[in-house]
């Protein structure tokens, strides 16, 4: 729902303001995740895990009413902008969804309706590219990469530095994305992010298949390529969100946004299931190929969408420099 809120507050007809709002939102998410994980790790080093869980649960419970009040404050300060997407049938729809006796048929009908709306959206390739990026679970900071490095006897300090560098690159990307949108428009900015990520992951894959990451220099090149690729990944995360926000009507924003998140989670789940099946470290190369292929496929699909625009697509992004230049 936060995507819908950002659109209502910033407006789809203000691309630079919308890009800045999305960038700030992602930036705060990354900072909070980093700080939260660091604080929790510090607590774990000093207190019993049960005590740490109690502290975390207490903070979550105490923060809930604060979040509710802040939401109301935002709505009041913005002259009730967050109420503009409500319809007269909202209450009846909510009552129908909460009917326990019909929860299964209602859920199936909602999934079918969401899928039909999702595949009919004008900006489907941009949304599908986001889904494709979630297939990359091997060449990204996470449990699989950490397991590979630890299996090869990599120093824990290098593993920690790699994770920290990935977080920093993600944070830097939130600044770069809004600047790119301002300079070249959201469409070229999205293509640049995807191509940049695909190129660097291809370098990482080449270094891995060369079989030399057991040596220090190739290992550092391998890790640096993956870390730098996070610039492209997080840049497209911000820009892709804005493209969907611009191309989807406000009345369908929550529905299509929710469906995109669901499909992306399913894609990640499929790849993690494959990682469980191919659990031997010798199969990492296969997972890496799938990861690079998914990112390259996302870049190809998005660029093809840009080079073959429909009239509706041109109308949606008429203020974008890409189509302004083509029109001239």
pLDDT tens, N- to C-terminus, the chain (328 residues): 777 777 777 776 777 788 788 888 888 888 887 788 778 878 878 888 889 889 989 999 999 999 999 988 988 888 777 776 555 555 555 666 666 677 788 778 888 888 898 889 889 999 999 999 999 989 998 888 988 888 888 888 888 888 888 888 988 998 888 888 888 888 999 999 999 999 999 999 999 998 778 888 999 999 999 999 999 999 999 888 888 888 888 778 778 888 888 999 999 899 888 888 877 888 898 999 999 999 999 999 999 999 988 888 888 888 777 776 565 5
Contacts for 150 with CB less than 8 Å, ≥ 6 apart: 159
Pair 221, 207: CB distance under 8 Å? yes
| pLDDT for position 254 | 76
Model pLDDT, residue 54: 92
Alpha-carbon distance 298 to 128, whole Å? 7
Please tell me the predicted confidence (pLDDT) of residue 276.
86
Using alpha carbons, list the distances in angstroms from residue 27 to 32, 93, 148, 192, 287. Answer: 9, 34, 29, 20, 29
What are the backbone angles phi and psi of residue 179, rounded to the nearest 5°?
A: -70, -40
CA dihedral 46, 48, 53, 54 (to 10 degrees): -100
- DSSP assignment of 97-130 equals HT-GGGHHHHHHHHHHHHHHHHHT-TTHHHHHHH
Q: Say what the pLDDT of residue 219 is.
A: 92
Q: For the domain bounded by 121-321, which CATH number is listed?
A: 1.20.1250.20
Residue 220 zone, left/alpha/beta (φ > 0; ψ -120 to 50; rest) = alpha
Between CA 316 and CA 122 the distance in angstroms is 9
Domain ranges for the chain: 121-321
Q: What are 289's two structure tokens? A: 């190929």
Q: Look at residue 207 in the predicted model and tell me its pLDDT.
A: 93
Residue 98 φ/ψ, nearest 5 degrees: -85, 0
* 3-state SS class at 29: helix
Cα–Cα distance for residue pair 162/185, rounded to 1 Å: 31
- In this prediction, residue 212 carries a pLDDT of 74
Q: What pTM value is reported for the model?
A: 0.81
Task: Provide CB contacts within 8 A for 226, sequence distance 6+.
Answer: 139, 140, 141, 145, 162, 166, 200, 201, 204
CB neighbour list of residue 229: distance below 8 Å, 6 or more residues apart: 139, 196, 197, 200, 201, 204
């Amino acid at each position: 729902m936060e995507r819908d809120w950002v659109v209502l507050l910033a407006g789809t007809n203000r691309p630079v303001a919308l890009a800045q709002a999305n960038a700030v939102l992602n930036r705060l998410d990354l900072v909070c995740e980093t700080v939260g994980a660091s604080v929790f790790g510090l607590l774990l080093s000093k207190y019993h895990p049960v005590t740490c869980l109690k502290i975390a649960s207490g903070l979550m419970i105490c923060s809930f009413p604060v979040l509710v009040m802040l939401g109301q404050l935002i709505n009041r300060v913005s002259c009730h902008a967050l109420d503009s997407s409500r319809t007269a049938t909202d209450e009846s729809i909510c009552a129908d969804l909460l009917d326990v006796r019909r929860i299964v048929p209602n859920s199936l009908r909602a999934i079918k309706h969401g899928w039909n709306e999702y595949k009919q959206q004008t900006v489907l390739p941009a949304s599908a590219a986001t889904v494709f990026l979630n297939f990359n679970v091997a060449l990204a900071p996470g449990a699989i990469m950490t397991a590979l490095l630890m299996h090869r006897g990599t120093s824990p300090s290098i593993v920690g530095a790699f994770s920290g560098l990935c977080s920093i690159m993600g944070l830097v990307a939130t600044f770069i994305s809004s600047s790119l949108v301002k300079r070249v428009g959201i469409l070229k900015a999205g293509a640049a992010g995807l191509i940049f990520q695909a190129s660097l992951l291809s370098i990482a894959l080449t270094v891995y298949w060369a079989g030399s990451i057991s040596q220090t220099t190739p290992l550092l090149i391998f890790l640096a390529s993956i870390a730098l690729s996070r610039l492209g990944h997080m840049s497209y995360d911000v820009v892709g969100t804005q493209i969907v926000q611009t191309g989807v009507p406000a009345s369908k924003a929550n529905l299509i946004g929710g469906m995109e998140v669901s499909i992306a989670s399913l894609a990640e789940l499929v790849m993690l299931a494959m990682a469980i099946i191919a659990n031997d470290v010798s199969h990492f190369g296969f997972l890496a190929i799938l990861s690079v292929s998914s990112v390259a496929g996302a870049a190809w699909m998005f660029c093809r969408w840009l080079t073959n625009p429909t009239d509706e697509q041109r109308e949606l992004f008429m203020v974008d420099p890409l189509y302004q230049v083509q029109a001239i």
